[in-house]
Amino acid sequence: MKTTIIALTSIVLCLAPSAMADASLLLDFGPTANGNPDDSPSYVIGGLTDNDWNILGTADVSSGLRFADTSAATGVALNLGIGSDFSSVDFNTNPANSNALGAAVGGLIFKYENNSNKTPAAKDAIYDATNVVAAQITGLSAGTYDIYVTARNTNIPSDASQFAVDTGIAASSFDFSSATIAGMSNADPAPNSWIAAENYNVIRTTLTSGDALFVAINGAVGNDTRAFMNSIAVVSVPESSEVSLWMAASMLLIVFGLNFRSRFRR
């Protein structure tokens, strides 16, 4: 009987939505190794349970990325670009700078209430002299994703920014004029919690098969007109139909197990 219950449990787990075998992608930009991988809005607010970050600089990445659960992100690639505004981003030109930052204000995207020596997962960044820095991610599976972003110059006390998310065909240039846009005030003093529209923001988007994901940061709205890209978390969201199917299958297996147990006892 015990063996049967274990087998049923295994079947239920195998039928769980694919997002539970996580295909989320975590990108931490800048040279500093990630000391606190759990301290991110995708983990604290979004409920992401995996935390393997890719530590990246200003170079494009054609292979070797990992998903948040440490599995190989086979076929997923990153192409970085810059632009003077959201209307025209050039993905043939990479951002020029990758810096540890945090010298003036201690990297305070987020401040620990009881431990000033700890800093959040992403305190450093890549940036350029231009107003916009952007990322084009190809090879992701079709589905719904929450895109969490942190974006500010942590060398100055306050630096508001915007970020834009769109999908489309992979290209050497992209116009974000029709993209969904969200803002971050990034004001001082830094809060000791993650607050949407203050020290991070999130946009939900849906990819169809073959789509590229486009994410851009606009720094022209802040005290430093340059765009700083600290982190991007692409978090997969299970489709409601998948969850419903999984729950229905789970209930059927539970009923079968209880019925089998009852017959076994008799």
- Has residue 98 got a pLDDT over 80? yes
51 occurs within a structural domain: yes
CATH number at 83 reads 2.60.120.430
61 vs 14, which has greater pLDDT? 61
Instruction: Report yes or no on whether pTM surpasses 0.85.
Output: no
Tell me if 99 is assigned to some domain. Answer: yes
Q: Is residue 4 part of a domain?
A: no
Structural domain span for residue 219 = 19-239
CA distances from 169 to 138, 174, 180 (A): 9, 9, 17
Query: Contact 217/228 with Cβ under 8 angstroms?
Result: yes
pLDDT tens for 202-232 read 999 999 999 999 999 999 999 999 999 999 9
pLDDT for position 240: 62
Q: For the chain, give the percent of residues with pLDDT over 70.
A: 74
Least confident of 29-43, 108-122, 140-154: 108-122
Cα–Cα distance, 229 to 29 (Å, whole number): 7
**Is pLDDT larger for residue 38 or for residue 142?**
142
pLDDT at 247 over 70: no
Residue 164 domain-assigned? Answer: yes
Residue 80 domain flag: yes
The number of beta carbons lying within 10 Å of the beta carbon of residue 249 is 15
Q: What are the pLDDT digits (tens) for 156-198?
A: 888 999 999 999 999 999 999 999 999 999 987 777 788 999 9
The answer to the question of residue 138 being in a domain is: yes
